[in-house]
Amino acid sequence: MNVMGLAPPPPFLATPGTPAVPWSRWLRHFENFLLASGANELPPARRQALLLHCLGPEGQRIFDALPQPTPSPPAAAAADEAGKSSKPNKPDPYNADLLTLIRHFAARCNVRVQRQRFRERRELSGEPAAHFALALRELLTSCNFAAQANENMCDQLVAGVTCPRLRERLLLEGDTLTFERAVEIAQLREQAARESEAFANPVRRVTSQAPRGWKSTRRNGRESRRSDSR
């Protein structure tokens, strides 16, 4: 399925189990898809159908089992009164279903578990610093660190790098080290390591080959040459 030539994000929950992508990130991808494809201009019922379709089979099964919101008594009374005086406003099914999904999936996110995953993240073998930093940023979105977000990312990057020399270099920055500065230092070190490979390779020595038939002999500490052919 595609809208205006753009494919939607992968299903949020195609099969039972843990979603591959956190709900907040998946929802952001879905909303970007609606905006980029122009589907945000579709009627609410069409957007509702797109949302439920993109949830995936298991996601739709969970949604069908969730209690549907009912209007509160004051809201219902106001709606009845509005219906008597003027044309009643139709409820937005997309917003209603989206709110139901947010309440369910956002509430299932255990902050302590997400923080533990964040603390356990280490730089993988051969992983570029930019990729490691991006992974930390993604894990951070579910940790609810608030104002301490940058400090926690910086601490985890220092603790998670595999190179002891890089860690020592980062620690030399002291309390002034920021996450952005730590990533910059790590990338500069990677660049220097790549450039130094040219000096690490053995130098190829070019030797001239003596003409065929000539031999080198040493007499009295002096080198002389003679020809085999006489």
Do 175 and 137 touch, CB atoms closer than 8 A? no
- Distance, in Å, from the CA atom of 36 to the CA atom of 30, rounded to the nearest integer, reads 10
Reported as a pLDDT band with limits 50, 70 and 90, residue 75 is very low
Burial of residue 56, with CB atoms counted within 10 A of its CB: 0-12 exposed, 13-18 middle, 19 or more buried: middle
**126-142 pLDDT tens trace:** 999 999 999 999 899 88
- All domains in the chain, ordered by first residue: 11-69+92-109 (no CATH), 111-196 (1.10.1200)
User: Which pLDDT value is given to residue 19?
Assistant: 87
Do 125 and 162 touch, CB atoms closer than 8 A? yes
pTM for this prediction = 0.57
**11-42 pLDDT tens trace:** 999 999 888 888 888 999 999 999 999 999 99
CA 2 to centroid of chain Cα atoms: 24
**42-73 pLDDT tens trace:** 999 999 999 999 999 999 999 999 987 665 55
pLDDT at residue 215 greater than cutoff 80: no
**185-206 pLDDT tens trace:** 999 999 998 888 877 765 554 4
Burial of residue 54, with CB atoms counted within 10 A of its CB: 0-12 exposed, 13-18 middle, 19 or more buried: buried
Residue type, 128: P
Residue with the larger pLDDT of the pair 114 and 206: 114
Mean of the per-residue pLDDT values of the chain = 82
